[in-house]
Every structure is written in structure tokens, then in C-alpha cells.
């Protein structure tokens, strides 16, 4: 087989179908009886939320391509219509499994554990009275029934909002009888209501159930024939035309207003909704029958996530876990002096995110610090890091922040963040138009004796304290001069006008990272052909970029052993004879979301280990500002390599990708969970000593 054959469609999996396979693995967590019950409910909600975003972004994009007349196939050979057809088959199956799991397993199990969802037919008189009063007091005042007739056309329906199609009979006071009305549930209303303890401890009722039970009161004198939930999912991707934008912030603000009413891509309805209502709704939204999903339960299932915080039952949740702190940071004192003594590598959430926050706070309060520069992609609300940057700017320090306004679904929060920092006196930039700034960087410039010194943090994850407790990521705190100079060059490029910088240690997308990856993979192939040690291990969220996949195929054929730990989408087909015999692909799905990106190259015994912000995808390598940074101190490099080996031994939360495209659970032999081992390894009693 020659290199041209490595482009054959049968050597690639479809990106969209691979993503649905990932969602299936998440749903399998909700099915696992070994996982605490409320965690299983949470995994079910995550699966539903993932599917929502898949339709909002990926299916919406395919529909746009189809509407534009594009039917061309990708590397896998599937045309746009073929992809949509295949997505429909898998998505229907996934939705059916979600609701079957809810109705037949999770709700009964919750009931056995005293967490009950009450239905009208089971309401006690006291419960019925309280719920009726709740409807009258809290719900009815904010509902606006919209009867449909020639004077009142079909209303605008907000993306993913809860709605009810109500069928009524009879004439109203004006002699009208349209037969159909729409009731929209405002988002201000909670979708899950807890009944008072005296009416049953931990008893809940869905908002949809309450509305359906009492909606007839909104149509006095009319006869209600039926009430059916529905929800529409819309295209939520933002489009900002580069040539027509003078002010990116205003452009994004304008697009946010239209996102809520983008083109419809999916309609969800109650399973018993009459055919004539279904046809009417599909027509109003411009959808076809294949865009309809009938469900046996609440159409907004992911709102069940609120149950986790409403039920205080520790035995139904994962046991509490307290992240550790590296020994060198426990003693307090001057963090800058500590970093002059050597790098510190943090592995979240097994080690806390506090040292990163403290690093920025320390810089903000240190009179010797002259400047702080940072990139922000997602930070969350009430960020301590943002507060420290505000304090630093207010204190007269030079604070420069690169905020990515187009971080998907965080655009509005980032606009507010930009305003807050600007008001404090910080220099706020929005990166380079057309390229999302996805790199995770902090640089602190400090005066020491007669010179300036740079201290830096580089990470694989966002500066977001909440996700740092839920996602696995690495962060490097360093005073390395070459890395500091590289980051300085990158900030100059982001804020000013410079040529592509020549970096000393960092790999930089969209410039050097892609070519460096290809060169390092080819170097491993050369070592293998020469009989030298050769191996590639990559831990990623996704692998889709064709030329990288082809490089891996060539390396496999040359004799390189390749292990890929890919959480989500993987378009590479492993275990194909003569092509990818030596490539193994696994996915870890567990308590924490695997988010760190790590690239390991054996390099004939002179191992290289990089951590970074970039997956091996087209968008990361060519359309984003990304950074990969080397882990060079021997002990730290050994730690990261050891973590990778642990993930490769995982047989409790690992799924192995077969050459046919399906994942199967790893055979449980050693009963090893990488995440559980790391939680134990980084336990405060066993905290590793760094340096």
C-alpha cells in the first residue's frame, strides 16, 4: 500500500457518527449500577445536553451545507445527505435509550431510595391542593397562552424552551374557535419543583406535569382536548463576517441576539402528540419528518440535573474528594522564589487549582510586579482570577487580557468580563480575527534587582475554578527563561503586528504545531526503521485531522507502537492489517471529564513530552491560537509519562475502539481505574514531593 492509499475513505471514521458513539459511552455511565444513583442521573443529563449541542452545532452545519447545495464527502466518503441519514438512525436509538433508562430504571431506583416524582394520579389530596395553589401563585401569572388564528400567527419559539401545544374546543367571548393554542413556559420558572417536606420527604414534580394538569384554567369556558409538550432546537453557531466587521464585540453582541431564534434543526414532542399537531408544528418550523423526535417524558430532560443539588443524600453521590497541594507550595512564602527553584506541575483535579489562582493574586499584590498578561477563554462567574486582574489594574500595574469573545456558549459572559476589566483599567484585546485564542497562558513580569524576570503558567484547561474540579488537566508553573521569552513573543503577536515569531521551546498553532507533530511522528518512524526505540502516545479529546492520521498510519507501517487515548471523536481506524496494525485507540469515561492533551514521543530513548491546549483537529491546528509546551524536568516528565501508562492500564473505565468503528469495554483483568488511582496517589497523605 502506497501513501495515496492512505487517503482511502475506508480508513476513516465519520466525525459526526464518532461523536454519537462518544455520547453513547456517556450514557453507558448512567446505566452502570456500580455508579452512585444521583451520579447516574447526572450522566443521563450530560448525555442529553451533549446531544442538544450536537444538533445546535454539528447537525445545523450539515443542514446549512445541504441547503447550499453541498453534498461533497469528507475523508470518510459519506456525503452530507448520507451523514444526516446515518445521524438520524443513531440519534433515534440514543434518545429511545435515554428515556427507557429514565422511566424503567432511574425513576424506579430513585423511588426505592425515597426520591419520588409524583404524578397526578398518585397525588394525595394534600399534595394536589399544594400543587394547585403553587400553579395559581407561581406559574399562572407568568404564562401567556397564545391562541392561533389569522390575526395571531404562530409565535416565535425560543431555542430549547419548554412549550405546550393545547387543543381546545368551543367559542370564546369573541366567537373564535381556532382549536389550537401555544403556551410557552418562561425560563424564569424552575423545571423541577420540590414539595414541602410535610407532603412527603424528597417528593418532586416536573413543571410540565403541573402545567398539563392545570392548563385548562387558562381557557375558561372552553373544553380542553389535549396538552402536549414540545421543544425546538435551533442553529446556535455564531457567524461573523470578517470583511464586514469593524468592532468584533458589537458584532458578537448582535449575533447573540439572533442565536435564540436561529433556524430550527430538531423538534421534540410528547410521544402521544396527535399526527395533525405534529404535521402542523413541523410545517411551522420548516422541518421534515426525520427531524421529529417523540419522547416518553419531559422534552427538556437535561433539566433533571437540578435534582443533584436538591437532594442531600451523600450516599447517592460520589464520595467527597479533596484535591492535594504540592509540597513545595504548602509552606507558603514567596511563590516566585519557589519557582526559581524549579518548575511545578499541577494535575487537576487531583491537585487543586488554588495555586494557579494564588499565583495571579500574588502577582497582583506584589509591588515588584510590573505587568500581568493573560489569555481567557472560559472563566465562569465570580472568578477569583478576574478579581485579581481587576485589583492589579486598579493598583496601576500593566494588565493585558486576551479574551476570546467567541468561546461557544460563553460569549455573553465574556463580553461582560471584557467590560469589567476595561472599566478597571486593563488593556483588553480580542485576539486575531478569524482565529480563536484557545491557548492557556499567564505571564508575570517582575523587577528583581537590576533586571526583569518572567514567571508563567501554561495549561491544558481553562482558568475556570469549577471545571478545574471536574476536568482532568495539567498546568505548568515555571520561571524558565526560554518559555518566558516565547510567551512574550506570542503576546506581542496577539496584541500588536509582528511576523511569525521564532519560538525556542513552545509549539505554536496555527504556525509550527502541525508541522512539528508531523515531523516528530516521522522521526519515530525513522527510529523504528533503524531498530531504535520508537513509540507515540497521545492523549486527546479528539483526533480528526487527515494528514496527522496519515502520518500515524505511516509510522505504524514503519513499526512504531502507537497508543491513542481519545476521549471523544476519533476518525482514525485502528487495527487495519498493513496500515494500523500497531495503533490502539481507547477512550476513558469516568467521574472526571478527561480534558488534558499530552503528546509523548519515545525518540530513541530521549523521550519528549508535551502538554497543550490543542486536539489534533483541523480547527485546533489551523484556525486557533494554540500552544503545546514541553515538560522537561526529569521528575515531572516521568510523572506525566507514568500517568499515561496508568491510563493505558485502565480496565474499569476504558473503552477500546475496534476496526469496525464500535467501542467495547476493556476486559477487566487488573481492575484498574486510572482516575481512582490518581485520586489515591495525590491524596494529601501521599502528596508527591516536587523537586
Catalytic positions: 438
ω into residue 31 within 30 of 0, thus cis?
A: no
> Hey, what's the torsion of the CAs at 134, 135, 136, 139, to 10 degrees?
110
Residues in the chain: 691
The whole-angstrom distance between residue 370's C-alpha and the CA centroid of its chain comes to 35
- DSSP designation for 291: G
- Report CA 410 to chain centroid distance, whole Å: 11
Q: Report the distance separating Cα 154 and Cα 13, nearest Å.
A: 41
Distance CA 499, CA 511 (A): 11
| Number of CB atoms found within 10 A of residue 626's CB | 28
3-state secondary structure at position 232: strand
DSSP string covering 369-434, please? EEEEEEEES---SS-HHHHHHHHHHHTT-EEEEEE-TTSTT-HHHHHHHHHHHHHHT-EEE--BTT
Grid coordinates in use for 204?
Answer: 418532586
First to last CA, the chain: 49
List C-alpha distances in Å: 5 to 72, 443, 617.
20, 46, 21
141 burial (CB, 10 Å; 0-12 / 13-18 / 19+) is: exposed
Biggest alpha carbon–alpha carbon distance for the chain: 90
Task: Report the SS3 class of residue 299.
Answer: coil
Question: The C-alpha cell of 183 is what?
Answer: 403556551
**Where would I find the H helices in 4-59?**
15-31, 37-53
Written as nine digits, the cell of 201 is: 420527604
Amino acid at each position: 500500500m502506497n501513501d495515496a492509499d492512505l487517503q482511502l475513505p475506508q480508513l476513516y471514521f465519520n466525525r459526526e457518527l464518532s461523536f454519537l458513539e462518544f455520547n453513547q459511552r456517556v450514557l453507558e455511565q448512567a446505566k452502570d449500577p456500580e455508579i452512585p444513583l444521583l451520579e447516574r442521573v447526572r450522566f443521563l443529563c450530560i448525555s442529553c445536553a451533549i446531544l442538544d449541542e450536537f444538533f445546535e452545532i454539528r447537525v445545523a452545519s450539515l443542514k446549512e451545507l445541504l441547503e447550499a447545495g453541498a453534498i461533497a464527502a469528507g475523508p470518510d466518503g459519506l456525503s452530507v445527505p448520507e451523514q444526516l441519514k446515518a445521524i438520524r438512525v443513531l440519534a433515534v436509538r440514543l434518545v429511545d435509550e435515554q428515556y427507557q433508562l429514565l422511566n424503567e430504571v432511574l425513576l424506579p431506583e430513585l423511588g426505592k431510595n425515597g426520591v419520588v416524582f409524583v404524578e397526578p394520579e398518585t397525588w394525595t389530596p394534600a399534595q394536589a391542593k399544594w400543587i394547585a395553589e403553587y400553579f395559581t401563585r407561581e406559574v399562572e401569572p407568568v404564562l401567556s397562552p397564545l391562541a392561533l388564528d389569522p390575526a395571531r400567527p404562530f409565535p416565535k419559539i425560543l431555542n430549547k424552551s419548554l412549550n405546550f401545544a393545547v387543543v381546545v374546543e368551543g367559542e370564546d367571548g369573541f366567537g373564535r374557535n381556532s382549536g389550537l393554542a401555544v403556551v410557552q413556559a418562561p425560563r424564569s420558572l424552575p423545571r423541577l419543583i420540590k414539595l414541602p417536606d410535610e407532603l412527603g420527604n424528597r417528593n418532586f414534580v416536573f413543571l410540565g406535569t403541573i402545567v398539563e394538569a392545570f392548563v385548562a384554567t387558562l381557557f375558561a369556558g372552553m373544553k380542553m382536548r389535549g396538552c402536549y409538550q414540545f421543544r425546538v432546537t435551533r442553529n446556535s453557531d455564531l457567524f461573523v463576517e470578517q470583511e464586514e466587521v469593524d468592532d468584533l464585540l458589537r458584532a458578537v453582541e448582535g449575533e447573540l441576539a439572533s442565536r435564540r431564534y436561529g433556524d430550527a434543526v430538531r423538534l421534540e414532542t410528547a410521544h402521544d402528540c396527535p399526527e395533525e399537531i405534529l404535521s402542523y408544528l413541523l410545517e411551522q418550523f420548516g422541518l421534515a419528518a426525520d427531524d421529529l423526535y417523540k419522547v416518553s417524558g419531559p422534552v427538556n430532560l437535561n433539566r433533571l440535573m437540578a435534582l443533584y443539588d436538591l437532594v442531600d443524600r451523600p450516599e447517592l453521590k460520589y464520595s467527597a474528594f479533596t484535591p492535594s497541594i504540592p509540597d513545595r507550595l504548602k509552606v507558603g512564602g514567596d511563590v516566585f522564589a519557589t519557582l526559581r527553584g524549579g518548575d511545578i506541575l499541577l494535575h487537576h483535579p487531583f491537585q487543586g487549582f488554588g495555586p494557579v489562582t494564588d499565583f495571579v493574586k500574588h502577582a497582583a499584590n506584589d509591588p515588584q510586579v510590573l505587568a500581568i498578561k493573560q489569555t481567557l477563554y472560559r472563566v465562569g462567574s465570580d472568578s477569583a482570577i478576574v478579581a485579581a486582574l481587576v485589583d492589579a489594574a486598579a493598583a496601576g500595574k500593566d494588565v493585558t487580557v486576551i479574551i476570546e469573545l467567541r468561546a461557544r456558549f460563553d460569549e455573553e459572559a465574556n463580553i461582560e468580563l471584557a467590560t469589567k476589566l476595561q472599566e478597571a483599567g486593563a488593556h483588553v484585546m480580542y485576539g486575531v480575527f478569524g482565529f480563536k485564542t484557545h491557548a492557556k497562558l499567564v505571564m508575570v513580569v517582575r523587577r528583581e534587582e537590576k533586571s526583569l524576570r518572567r514567571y508563567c503558567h501554561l495549561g491544558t484547561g481553562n482558568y475556570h475554578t469549577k471545571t478545574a474540579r471536574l476536568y482532568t488537566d495539567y498546568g505548568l508553573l515555571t520561571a524558565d527563561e526560554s518559555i518566558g521569552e516565547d510567551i512574550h513573543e506570542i503576546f506581542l503577536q496577539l496584541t500588536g503586528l509582528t511576523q511569525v515569531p521564532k519560538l525556542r521551546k513552545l509549539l505554536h498553532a496555527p504556525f509550527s504545531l502541525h508541522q512539528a507533530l508531523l515531523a516528530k511522528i516521522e522521526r519515530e518512524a525513522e527510529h523504528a526503521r533503524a531498530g531504535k526505540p520508537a513509540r507515540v502516545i497521545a492523549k486527546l479529546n479528539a483526533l480528526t485531522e487527515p494528514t496527522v492520521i496519515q502520518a500515524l498510519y505511516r509510522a505504524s507501517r514503519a513499526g512504531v507502537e502507537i497508543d491513542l487515548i481519545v476521549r471523544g471523536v476519533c476518525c482514525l481506524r485502528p487495527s487495519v492489517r498493513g496500515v494500523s496494525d500497531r495503533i490502539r485507540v481507547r477512550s476513558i469515561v469516568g467521574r472526571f471529564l478527561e480534558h488534558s492533551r499530552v503528546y509523548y514521543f519515545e525518540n530513541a530513548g530521549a523521550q519528549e513530552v508535551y502538554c497543550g491546549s490543542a486536539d489534533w483537529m483541523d480547527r485546533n491546528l489551523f484556525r486557533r491560537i494554540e500552544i503545546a509546551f514541553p515538560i522537561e524536568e526529569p521528575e515531572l516528565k516521568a510523572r506525566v509519562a507514568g500517568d499515561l501508562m496508568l491510563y493505558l492500564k485502565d480496565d474499569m473505565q476504558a473503552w477500546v475502539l475496534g476496526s469496525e468503528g464500535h467501542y467495547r469495554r476493556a476486559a477487566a483483568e487488573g481492575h484498574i481505574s486510572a482516575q481512582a488511582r490518581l485520586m489515591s496517589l495525590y491524596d494529601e497523605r501521599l502528596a508527591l514531593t516536587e523537586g
